[in-house]
Amino acid sequence: MKIGLFGGSFDPIHLGHLVAAQQVLDEKLCEKIWFLPCYQNPLKKKSTETKHRKKMLEIAIKNEKGFELNETELKEKKTNYTIETVRKLKKLFSEHEFYFIIAGKALKEFNKWKKYDELAKEIKFIVVSFQHSDKIPKKIGKFNPIKLNPTLSSNISSTLIRKGIKEKKDVSVFLPKKVLDYIKENKLYEFK
């Protein structure tokens, strides 16, 4: 089975993530998407508590066919690197063919990832380009990634959503309603 690994902090998960993942399924690039939240992104100072990010993911994908939550990195309760996780999953699930879905900020920071050059050889990439200006890093590009221009062309990002919440702006168009409700109920991102 072809599995798309969609890694990230998902802090919070938003419609851009969901639309991109659905398009990967719709275009039959993968048969399932495993959302792979990290315990702590090594390129970020601090993420929202794991339990909240996990719960928002569960809420967002609950009724979505073909979407699953994979807790491999969360269970280890430490900073993980994508190269290690990919190798582990390939070993544990050798019957599957894995693809790594990369988009937005992760695409721009790819050259900062641990052993990114080895990762580019280890797994096939599906590059989701939300903006025409998104450039595919050379290390990925030379391995002929699958490029996907999602139907939702947007500047949605978790960073902008968190900032919008702090500034008391309406972010409801970027989030599934139940995820926004969870954020409000738990006063995440200083929601008051």
Residue 143: its pLDDT value, please?
Answer: 60
Q: Does 145 sit behind a cis peptide bond, omega within 30 degrees of 0 on the bond before it?
A: no
Distance, CA of 129 to CA of 6 (rounded, Å): 14
Residue 188: its pLDDT value, please?
Answer: 96
Residues of the chain with pLDDT under 50: none
This prediction has a pTM of 0.89
Residue 84: its pLDDT value, please?
Answer: 95
Q: What is the DSSP string of the chain?
A: -EEEEEEE--TT--HHHHHHHHHHHHTTS-SEEEEEE-SS-TTSS--S-HHHHHHHHHHHHTT-TTEEE--HHHHHTS---HHHHHHHHHHHTTTSEEEEEEEHHHHHTGGGSTTHHHHHHHSEEEEE-SSTT----HHHHTT-PEEE--SS-----HHHHHHHHHTT---GGGS-HHHHHHHHHTTGGG--
Residue 147: its pLDDT value, please?
Answer: 74
Residue 108: its pLDDT value, please?
Answer: 77
Residue 130: its pLDDT value, please?
Answer: 60
Spell out the domain ranges in the chain: 2-155
Residue 116: its pLDDT value, please?
Answer: 86
Assigned superfamily of 2-155? HUPs (3.40.50.620)
Residue 146: its pLDDT value, please?
Answer: 74
